[in-house]
Structures are given as C-alpha cells and as structure tokens.
Amino acid sequence: MSITVVGSIAYDAVKTPFGERERMLGGAAVHFALAAAFFDDVRVVGPVGDDFGESELAVLRDRGIDIGDVERIAGGKTFFWRGKYGWDLNSRETLDTQLGVFEGFQPKLSPRSRASDVLFLANIQPDLQRDVRAQLPDARFVALDSMNLWIEIARDSLVDAIEQCDCLILNDAELRQLTDKPNLVSAAREVLSWGDGASRRTARGRGPSVIVAKQGEYGAALVTRERFFALPAYPLETVIDPTGAGDTFAGGFIGYIAASLASGGGGAGASGGGGGASGELSDELLRRAMAHATVLASFNVERFGTERVECLTREEIDARAAELHAITQFSGVG
C-alpha cells in the first residue's frame, strides 16, 4: 500500500542551545516521508524553488521515496523557516518564515500519487488540504495535521478538511484551541463527533475516528470512540533539535498503519482490538503504530534536522521499540 504526503519541503535555519544550522533540509513532508519510508512506499507532493539542491532530493530518493510530484517552480524560492529554541527546548520562537513557492501553490497530483490508498495532509493551508483530499476520493485512510495559525485564520476550512479525514494528528495545545475544550479527552471527543463519522462512513463521507494528540517531550495520546491510549516519549539524555519531531512522529504512525493495511494486518482478533477506527484498524494495531511513531520521533531529535533519520536503520527502530515497551509496561495490577 502506498502513501501520498502533501506538505512543505523546506530549508530550515535552526538554533538550539546545542548548536545551529544555517540551511538544512526540512519541511513537514520531508520529515514525514523519511520516517514513513521505513514501513511503506511514499510519494511526496510539494513545491520547491530553483534553489533546491540535487543533494537534498537525493536524501529522499536514497530512501526509495517517489519524488515525481516534487514540483520545481522556475524562478521560485524554496520555503524557508528560521527558528530558535529555549534552553529546555520546550519553547521555540519563529524568527522568519518565507513562503516562497508556497504562495500560489496549486497541488497537481500525478495519477500515481492519486492512486495511493493512504494520504497524509501535512500542515498547510486547509484549502489546499481539501483540494488534495478531493483528488484522492477513494483513499482508505486519510490523516491530517495542522497548526495554530490555521485555527486562528481559517478555522471553517480546517474543520471541513478534518471532517473529510479519518485521523487528526495535532499538538495537544492546538487540539484544545481548535475545540475550545480545556482538556485532551473532551477536546478529542468533540472532534470525534464531527462529520457524523459513524453514519456518514456508510455513504461517501466520513469523519475522524482516530485522534492523536502530540505532547512533545511528554509523549502522545490516542483517542478513538471506543478507547484511549497514551505513551510517554522515549527518554533521551541528550536532545539536540526538536525540529520536525511531530512530522517524523506522524510518518512513523501513518507508515506503520499503511504497511499493516497492506499486509492485511489490520489486526482483527488481536487482543484488546475492537474493530474500531476506520472499520479495519484494531486498537492493538493503532497502539503499535503509536509506539513506532514515538520511536521515530525520538531518533529525529538526536541530531539536527534530518541528520539522524537519514542514517537510521530498521534494526535500530525495532530495538528502540522493544526498549520503549520495556520502560512503559507494568504488571500485577488489573
């Protein structure tokens, strides 16, 4: 099963207490794709400018990522972000954002990208997300990320986009902001009620049935109509740069799900599974996907930008997933 991701391909300038990079490969679609490619085929859709280098494209190509829909805009400049993190990396300040080729971007998906069964709408303007969503009407699993900016200036369009998805992946604080609910559980329940998911799924439409709240260094939570699951972050003694961690998390999560759907391993019959999300994703599968997402994100923050994930191996992922299991499980209760 293949995954199409639409989102930013960028150059980032980042300063953390542990160093800085003046111009490194970044962007939500890039971080997502590099993580998801460990599990399944990935096609990237997004614009770059004349300034985008061959060596950056090679980073994606080397992982087998399909870059046929990476559109080079003649005379354009690649999306650029400059940010700075505080001493504990929990606060970050955006110093500069240059949309470049993202201004006026109209996603044109090739037949191959439109044929994917899984779609990830990374954080871009919600109208663009809806546009792309409409180009994959038959996708089996569609997930969306967003940010506070769009909640503030384009909420109606964003809500409409979310209603056409199966899964919302959002920062914890943004999920509260989006729903105006003070806590995670009530915020997630609110989104689960959108789009009348349960009944509309029988017709063409659908509504979100899987909500993932990213909590940064504290981990992440998963809320479906039936169940709740939460996982702490993998503990690291040294964190260098959190840039892209959320998109890497999403890549691990969606990539793992896509691979499981491909292998028919939706997980029916797994202990604790409940049929649940999207009618075929078991609770056990979603939990394993959360674990892999957590692991991918933990590697991402060990070095700047994509530097760690670029040289990551599947063996390292599996080993850390086992460690994550060991540090979160307990017995003798329940």
Nearest CA-CA partner of 108 in 87, 132, 78, 127: 132
Residue 317: CB minimum distance to a copy of itself, A: 10
Angle between helices 28-36 and 245-262 (to 10 degrees): 40
Residue 159: CB minimum distance to a copy of itself, A: 21
Please, which residue, 137 or 182, has the CB nearer to a copy of itself?
182
> Cβ distance 224 to 281 under 8 Å?
no
Please, which residue, 75 or 334, has the CB nearer to a copy of itself?
334
Neighbours of 3 (CB within 10 A): 32
Residue 82: CB minimum distance to a copy of itself, A: 21
Residue 223: CB minimum distance to a copy of itself, A: 8
> Cβ distance 80 to 96 under 8 Å?
yes
Q: How far is CA 230 from CA 111, 166, 205, 227, 249, in A?
A: 37, 19, 29, 10, 14
Rounded CA-CA distance 172/167 in Å is 15
Please, which residue, 6 or 231, has the CB nearer to a copy of itself?
231
> Cβ distance 232 to 219 under 8 Å?
yes
Residue 291: CB minimum distance to a copy of itself, A: 5
Sites of contact with a copy of itself (CB under 8 A): 17, 87-89, 176, 182-186, 189, 215, 217-219, 221, 227-233, 235-239, 270-272, 284, 287-288, 290-292, 321-334
Please, which residue, 209 or 260, has the CB nearer to a copy of itself?
260
Residue 83: CB minimum distance to a copy of itself, A: 17
Nearest CA-CA partner of 36 in 10, 7, 56, 12: 7
For the record, the structure tokens of 135 come out as 């180009």
